[in-house]
Amino acid sequence: MTETPEGVYALTVAELRHYTDRLFFFRTERPDAFRFRSGEFVMIGLPPEVMEAAGGKAKTIWRAYSIASPAWEEHVDFYSIKVPDGPLTSVLAGIATGDTVWMRKKPTGTLVHDALVPGKRLFLLCTGTGIAPFASIIRDPETYEKFEKVYVIHTCRENAELQYGFDLVEEIANHEILSEIVGDKLVHWASCTREAPDTARGVHAGRMTDAMRSGALYEELGIGPLNPETCRVMICGSMDMLQDCKQLCEAGGLVEGSNAQPGQFVIERAFVG
Protein backbone atom coordinates (compact mmCIF):
# COMPACT_ATOMS: atom_id res chain seq x y z
CA MET A 1 0.00 0.00 0.00
CA THR A 2 1.30 3.47 -0.93
CA GLU A 3 2.40 5.57 2.00
CA THR A 4 -0.21 8.18 2.97
CA PRO A 5 0.94 11.56 1.58
CA GLU A 6 1.67 14.55 3.80
CA GLY A 7 -1.48 16.47 4.75
CA VAL A 8 -3.75 13.48 4.14
CA TYR A 9 -5.60 11.14 6.50
CA ALA A 10 -6.05 7.47 5.57
CA LEU A 11 -9.52 6.62 6.86
CA THR A 12 -11.07 3.20 7.23
CA VAL A 13 -14.59 2.79 5.86
CA ALA A 14 -16.84 1.69 8.72
CA GLU A 15 -20.29 1.63 7.11
CA LEU A 16 -21.90 1.82 3.68
CA ARG A 17 -25.46 2.24 2.44
CA HIS A 18 -26.45 2.20 -1.21
CA TYR A 19 -29.67 4.20 -1.52
CA THR A 20 -30.25 3.88 -5.26
CA ASP A 21 -28.11 2.96 -8.24
CA ARG A 22 -27.08 6.66 -8.30
CA LEU A 23 -26.62 7.45 -4.60
CA PHE A 24 -24.69 6.00 -1.69
CA PHE A 25 -23.65 6.89 1.84
CA PHE A 26 -20.41 5.96 3.56
CA ARG A 27 -19.04 6.51 7.02
CA THR A 28 -15.42 6.49 8.12
CA GLU A 29 -13.63 6.65 11.43
CA ARG A 30 -12.69 10.16 12.57
CA PRO A 31 -9.08 11.01 13.42
CA ASP A 32 -8.85 12.60 16.89
CA ALA A 33 -7.07 15.67 15.56
CA PHE A 34 -9.52 16.34 12.72
CA ARG A 35 -11.62 19.44 13.38
CA PHE A 36 -14.16 21.08 11.06
CA ARG A 37 -17.20 23.35 11.19
CA SER A 38 -20.58 21.75 10.40
CA GLY A 39 -21.37 22.34 6.72
CA GLU A 40 -17.75 22.33 5.47
CA PHE A 41 -16.26 20.14 2.75
CA VAL A 42 -12.99 18.23 2.29
CA MET A 43 -11.15 16.65 -0.62
CA ILE A 44 -11.58 12.89 -0.91
CA GLY A 45 -9.56 10.42 -2.99
CA LEU A 46 -8.44 6.80 -3.18
CA PRO A 47 -4.89 5.44 -2.96
CA PRO A 48 -3.22 5.09 -6.40
CA GLU A 49 -3.18 1.29 -6.34
CA VAL A 50 -6.95 1.21 -5.85
CA MET A 51 -7.45 3.48 -8.88
CA GLU A 52 -5.12 1.27 -10.90
CA ALA A 53 -6.82 -1.96 -9.80
CA ALA A 54 -10.12 -0.44 -11.04
CA GLY A 55 -8.63 0.02 -14.49
CA GLY A 56 -7.47 3.62 -14.21
CA LYS A 57 -4.07 5.27 -13.90
CA ALA A 58 -2.16 4.71 -10.65
CA LYS A 59 -3.00 8.24 -9.56
CA THR A 60 -5.25 9.69 -6.86
CA ILE A 61 -8.11 11.80 -8.19
CA TRP A 62 -9.36 14.30 -5.63
CA ARG A 63 -12.96 15.50 -5.42
CA ALA A 64 -14.70 17.85 -3.02
CA TYR A 65 -17.14 16.18 -0.63
CA SER A 66 -19.31 17.86 1.95
CA ILE A 67 -19.03 16.30 5.37
CA ALA A 68 -22.51 14.97 6.12
CA SER A 69 -22.02 14.43 9.85
CA PRO A 70 -22.01 17.17 12.48
CA ALA A 71 -18.81 18.48 14.04
CA TRP A 72 -19.41 16.66 17.34
CA GLU A 73 -19.76 13.12 15.91
CA GLU A 74 -17.06 10.50 16.40
CA HIS A 75 -17.20 9.40 12.77
CA VAL A 76 -17.25 11.23 9.44
CA ASP A 77 -20.15 10.72 7.00
CA PHE A 78 -20.31 11.32 3.25
CA TYR A 79 -23.19 11.15 0.78
CA SER A 80 -22.18 10.60 -2.82
CA ILE A 81 -23.49 10.36 -6.30
CA LYS A 82 -22.26 7.52 -8.54
CA VAL A 83 -21.37 8.79 -11.97
CA PRO A 84 -20.89 5.71 -14.21
CA ASP A 85 -17.89 7.24 -16.01
CA GLY A 86 -16.88 9.56 -13.14
CA PRO A 87 -13.15 9.03 -12.56
CA LEU A 88 -13.49 8.95 -8.77
CA THR A 89 -17.13 8.16 -7.98
CA SER A 90 -17.27 5.12 -10.30
CA VAL A 91 -14.43 3.56 -8.26
CA LEU A 92 -15.53 4.93 -4.89
CA ALA A 93 -18.98 3.36 -5.39
CA GLY A 94 -17.27 -0.06 -5.21
CA ILE A 95 -15.60 0.41 -1.81
CA ALA A 96 -16.32 -2.00 1.01
CA THR A 97 -16.14 -1.68 4.77
CA GLY A 98 -12.53 -1.95 5.94
CA ASP A 99 -11.22 -0.24 2.77
CA THR A 100 -9.13 2.92 2.94
CA VAL A 101 -10.29 6.33 1.72
CA TRP A 102 -7.93 9.29 1.65
CA MET A 103 -9.08 12.66 2.97
CA ARG A 104 -7.09 15.90 2.81
CA LYS A 105 -6.76 17.37 6.28
CA LYS A 106 -7.99 20.87 5.58
CA PRO A 107 -11.77 21.45 5.57
CA THR A 108 -13.29 24.60 4.05
CA GLY A 109 -16.60 26.01 2.83
CA THR A 110 -19.24 28.73 3.02
CA LEU A 111 -22.28 26.74 4.20
CA VAL A 112 -21.37 27.52 7.79
CA HIS A 113 -23.00 29.54 10.56
CA ASP A 114 -20.06 31.97 10.54
CA ALA A 115 -21.05 33.16 7.06
CA LEU A 116 -24.60 34.14 8.07
CA VAL A 117 -25.73 37.09 10.16
CA PRO A 118 -28.27 36.23 12.90
CA GLY A 119 -31.88 35.56 11.89
CA LYS A 120 -34.98 33.65 12.94
CA ARG A 121 -35.65 31.22 10.10
CA LEU A 122 -33.01 29.13 8.38
CA PHE A 123 -33.84 27.70 4.95
CA LEU A 124 -31.62 24.87 3.72
CA LEU A 125 -32.34 24.56 -0.01
CA CYS A 126 -30.87 21.51 -1.75
CA THR A 127 -31.22 19.19 -4.71
CA GLY A 128 -29.83 15.65 -5.01
CA THR A 129 -26.63 15.12 -2.99
CA GLY A 130 -26.75 18.82 -2.09
CA ILE A 131 -28.42 17.68 1.13
CA ALA A 132 -25.03 16.42 2.43
CA PRO A 133 -23.81 19.62 4.15
CA PHE A 134 -27.28 20.09 5.66
CA ALA A 135 -27.16 16.57 7.10
CA SER A 136 -24.37 18.09 9.17
CA ILE A 137 -26.06 21.43 9.90
CA ILE A 138 -29.40 19.95 11.05
CA ARG A 139 -27.65 17.73 13.61
CA ASP A 140 -25.59 20.55 15.06
CA PRO A 141 -27.06 22.01 18.29
CA GLU A 142 -25.67 25.44 17.32
CA THR A 143 -28.26 25.57 14.52
CA TYR A 144 -31.09 25.49 17.06
CA GLU A 145 -29.39 27.96 19.36
CA LYS A 146 -29.25 30.41 16.47
CA PHE A 147 -32.61 29.83 14.76
CA GLU A 148 -36.22 29.45 15.86
CA LYS A 149 -37.17 27.37 12.83
CA VAL A 150 -35.08 25.35 10.35
CA TYR A 151 -36.54 24.29 7.00
CA VAL A 152 -34.83 21.57 4.96
CA ILE A 153 -36.19 21.90 1.44
CA HIS A 154 -35.05 19.02 -0.78
CA THR A 155 -35.89 18.26 -4.42
CA CYS A 156 -34.81 15.09 -6.23
CA ARG A 157 -35.77 13.35 -9.45
CA GLU A 158 -37.34 10.34 -7.73
CA ASN A 159 -38.94 9.46 -4.40
CA ALA A 160 -36.20 6.94 -3.56
CA GLU A 161 -33.58 9.70 -3.81
CA LEU A 162 -35.28 11.54 -0.97
CA GLN A 163 -34.80 8.64 1.46
CA TYR A 164 -31.59 9.93 3.05
CA GLY A 165 -33.43 13.10 4.11
CA PHE A 166 -36.24 11.07 5.66
CA ASP A 167 -33.67 8.90 7.46
CA LEU A 168 -31.98 11.99 8.92
CA VAL A 169 -35.22 13.42 10.26
CA GLU A 170 -36.10 10.06 11.80
CA GLU A 171 -32.65 9.71 13.32
CA ILE A 172 -32.99 13.11 14.97
CA ALA A 173 -36.46 12.24 16.30
CA ASN A 174 -35.08 9.03 17.82
CA HIS A 175 -31.92 10.59 19.23
CA GLU A 176 -32.12 11.04 22.98
CA ILE A 177 -30.27 14.36 23.19
CA LEU A 178 -30.83 15.85 19.72
CA SER A 179 -34.59 15.30 19.80
CA GLU A 180 -34.75 17.46 22.94
CA ILE A 181 -32.64 20.20 21.39
CA VAL A 182 -34.46 20.18 18.05
CA GLY A 183 -38.02 19.87 19.39
CA ASP A 184 -40.42 21.11 16.73
CA LYS A 185 -37.93 23.52 15.18
CA LEU A 186 -37.02 21.30 12.22
CA VAL A 187 -39.32 21.12 9.18
CA HIS A 188 -38.65 18.79 6.25
CA TRP A 189 -40.22 19.59 2.86
CA ALA A 190 -39.43 17.13 0.06
CA SER A 191 -40.38 17.03 -3.60
CA CYS A 192 -39.66 14.97 -6.70
CA THR A 193 -39.80 15.99 -10.32
CA ARG A 194 -39.65 12.92 -12.55
CA GLU A 195 -42.23 10.56 -11.13
CA ALA A 196 -45.47 10.78 -9.18
CA PRO A 197 -44.69 11.94 -5.63
CA ASP A 198 -45.20 9.58 -2.72
CA THR A 199 -47.94 11.70 -1.18
CA ALA A 200 -48.44 9.20 1.63
CA ARG A 201 -45.02 10.31 2.90
CA GLY A 202 -45.76 13.97 2.24
CA VAL A 203 -43.63 14.26 -0.91
CA HIS A 204 -44.65 17.12 -3.21
CA ALA A 205 -44.59 17.32 -7.00
CA GLY A 206 -42.17 19.61 -8.83
CA ARG A 207 -39.15 21.80 -8.16
CA MET A 208 -38.84 23.77 -4.91
CA THR A 209 -38.10 26.88 -6.97
CA ASP A 210 -41.55 26.69 -8.60
CA ALA A 211 -43.17 26.25 -5.18
CA MET A 212 -41.25 29.33 -3.98
CA ARG A 213 -42.22 31.44 -6.99
CA SER A 214 -45.89 30.50 -6.74
CA GLY A 215 -45.86 31.00 -2.98
CA ALA A 216 -47.22 27.47 -2.43
CA LEU A 217 -44.20 26.57 -0.33
CA TYR A 218 -44.60 29.46 2.11
CA GLU A 219 -48.33 28.95 2.27
CA GLU A 220 -47.88 25.34 3.25
CA LEU A 221 -45.25 26.21 5.83
CA GLY A 222 -47.57 28.86 7.22
CA ILE A 223 -45.05 31.68 6.83
CA GLY A 224 -44.56 34.74 4.66
CA PRO A 225 -42.10 34.83 1.74
CA LEU A 226 -38.32 35.31 2.10
CA ASN A 227 -37.43 38.59 3.77
CA PRO A 228 -34.12 40.04 4.92
CA GLU A 229 -35.21 40.70 8.50
CA THR A 230 -35.96 37.14 9.57
CA CYS A 231 -34.80 34.72 6.84
CA ARG A 232 -31.38 33.22 6.26
CA VAL A 233 -30.72 30.73 3.45
CA MET A 234 -28.06 28.15 2.63
CA ILE A 235 -28.16 26.71 -0.90
CA CYS A 236 -26.49 23.57 -2.27
CA GLY A 237 -27.23 22.00 -5.65
CA SER A 238 -26.40 22.11 -9.35
CA MET A 239 -25.18 25.32 -11.01
CA ASP A 240 -28.64 26.01 -12.47
CA MET A 241 -30.33 25.43 -9.15
CA LEU A 242 -27.86 27.74 -7.39
CA GLN A 243 -28.52 30.48 -9.92
CA ASP A 244 -32.29 30.18 -9.59
CA CYS A 245 -32.23 30.09 -5.80
CA LYS A 246 -29.77 33.01 -5.67
CA GLN A 247 -32.16 35.03 -7.81
CA LEU A 248 -35.07 34.17 -5.53
CA CYS A 249 -33.04 35.24 -2.47
CA GLU A 250 -32.00 38.49 -4.11
CA ALA A 251 -35.57 39.16 -5.25
CA GLY A 252 -36.54 38.78 -1.59
CA GLY A 253 -33.95 41.43 -0.66
CA LEU A 254 -31.35 39.07 0.85
CA VAL A 255 -27.63 39.77 0.44
CA GLU A 256 -25.07 37.03 -0.19
CA GLY A 257 -22.54 36.31 2.56
CA SER A 258 -19.15 34.66 2.94
CA ASN A 259 -16.76 33.73 5.73
CA ALA A 260 -15.08 37.11 5.35
CA GLN A 261 -18.33 39.06 5.15
CA PRO A 262 -21.35 37.30 6.69
CA GLY A 263 -24.66 37.92 4.93
CA GLN A 264 -28.22 36.68 4.63
CA PHE A 265 -27.67 33.77 2.23
CA VAL A 266 -24.78 31.53 1.19
CA ILE A 267 -24.15 29.19 -1.71
CA GLU A 268 -22.09 26.11 -2.48
CA ARG A 269 -22.08 23.85 -5.49
CA ALA A 270 -23.07 20.22 -4.86
CA PHE A 271 -19.93 18.48 -5.98
CA VAL A 272 -19.92 15.62 -8.47
CA GLY A 273 -17.41 13.73 -10.59
Near ligand A2P by CB under 6 A, which window of 46-54, 110-118, 221-229, 236-244?
A: 236-244
Among 104, 105, 207, 246, which residue interacts with ligand A2P (rule: CB under 6 A)? 207
Nearer Cβ to ligand A2P, position 127 or 163? 127
Nearer Cβ to ligand A2P, position 108 or 193? 193
Q: Rounded to whole angstroms, how far apart are CA atoms 29 and 227?
A: 41
Q: Rounded to whole angstroms, how far apart are CA atoms 35 and 12?
A: 17
Nearer Cβ to ligand A2P, position 136 or 159? 159
Nearer Cβ to ligand A2P, position 150 or 241? 241
Among 136, 143, 155, 264, which residue interacts with ligand A2P (rule: CB under 6 A)? 155
How, if at all, do strands 100-104 and 41-45 pair?
antiparallel
Nearer Cβ to ligand A2P, position 13 or 249? 249
How, if at all, do strands 149-156 and 231-237 pair?
unpaired
Binding track over 103-142 against ligand A2P, x by CB under 6 A: ------------------------xx--------------
Could you say whether residue 67 binds ligand A2P (CB under 6 A)?
no
Counting residues that bind ligand A2P (by CB under 6 A) gives 14
Please, what is the minimum distance in Å from the beta carbon of residue 128 to ligand A2P? 4
Interaction residues for ligand A2P, span 238-267 (CB under 6 A): 238, 240-241, 244
Q: At residue 104, what are phi and psi to the nearest 5 degrees? A: -65, 145
What is the contact surface with ligand A2P in residues (CB under 6 A)?
127-128, 155-157, 193-194, 207-209, 238, 240-241, 244
